């Protein structure tokens, strides 16, 4: 015999198991949605912090690399006296990156910018290594002008590639970001002044 309810209480009492299941399902869906939204916001905040931290670090490293290029280029062009490995080292001292090594496992979060960031830091490392190798050079007290100029070129290559990366990594601090135009202009000027004979064979491919 079919059941007929006469009051709302009778209906709820009869279907309470089904209603409880529906309420639990709705509650679970809401919980999952809220959790995913919170996690998404957490990841977005982490990526934003990573981008800003790398932006700050690169705005310290790139100007120093550009300064090292200028100093080593002048050293390679000087006409008097020997060039020593100590001279090259003194003129090309760079801050040691902290943010990038500590967050290398998170660089993939930068998605489309990840590869370019890795390349910039890689080029800076190559430049520093080129200086370090001079300390064990067979004649450390008599470095040729050509070697000094090639070392200068290594620093400039990192700066040239950074031109396309800096505008995409903003610090969020106007005092820092507003100086980008001046820095990029200085890099462009150094690149334009670089004789064709000193340009790295892969330089055109590295530029954006």
The count of structural domains within the chain is 1
18 in a domain, yes or no?
A: no
Provide the residue range defining the domain that includes 184.
Answer: 53-206
Give the SS3 label for residue 170: coil
Q: Which residues have C-beta within 8 Å of that of residue 200, sequence separation ≥ 6?
A: 153, 157, 206
pLDDT tens, the chain, 208 aa long: 555 555 656 655 666 777 677 888 888 888 888 778 776 777 678 999 999 999 999 999 999 999 999 999 999 998 788 999 999 999 999 999 999 999 999 999 999 999 999 999 999 999 999 999 998 888 888 999 999 999 999 999 999 999 999 999 998 888 888 889 999 999 999 999 877 655 554 433 333 3
102-146 pLDDT, tens digit each: 999 999 999 999 999 999 999 999 999 999 999 888 888 899 999
173 in a domain, yes or no?
A: yes
15 in a domain, yes or no?
A: no
126 in a domain, yes or no?
A: yes
Residue entry with tokens 């334009």? 192
96 in a domain, yes or no?
A: yes
**Cα distances (angstroms) measured from residue 128 to each of 22, 29, 122:** 64, 53, 10
Residue entry with tokens 């002008």? 145
156 in a domain, yes or no?
A: yes
């Amino acid at each position: 015999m079919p059941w007929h309810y006469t009051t709302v209480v009778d209906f709820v009492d009869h279907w309470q198991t089904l209603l409880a299941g529906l309420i639990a399902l709705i509650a679970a869906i809401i919980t999952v949605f809220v959790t995913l939204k919170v996690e998404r916001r957490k990841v977005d905040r982490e990526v934003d912090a990573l981008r800003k931290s790398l932006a700050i670090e690169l705005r310290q490293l790139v100007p120093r690399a550009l300064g090292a290029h200028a100093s080593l280029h002048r050293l390679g062009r000087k006409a008097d006296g020997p060039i020593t490995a100590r001279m090259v080292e003194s003129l090309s001292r760079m801050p040691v990156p902290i943010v990038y090594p500590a967050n290398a496992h998170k660089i993939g979060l930068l998605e489309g910018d990840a590869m370019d960031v890795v390349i910039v830091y890689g080029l800076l490392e190559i430049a520093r290594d080129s200086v370090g190798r001079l300390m064990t050079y067979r004649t450390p007290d008599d470095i040729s002008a050509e070697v000094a100029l090639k070392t200068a070129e290594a620093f400039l290559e990192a700066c040239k590639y950074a031109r396309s990366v800096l505008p995409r990594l903003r610090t969020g601090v106007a005092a820092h970001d507003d100086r980008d135009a001046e820095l990029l202009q200085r890099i462009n000027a150094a690149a334009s002044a670089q004789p064709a004979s000193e340009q790295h064979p892969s330089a055109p491919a590295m530029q954006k």
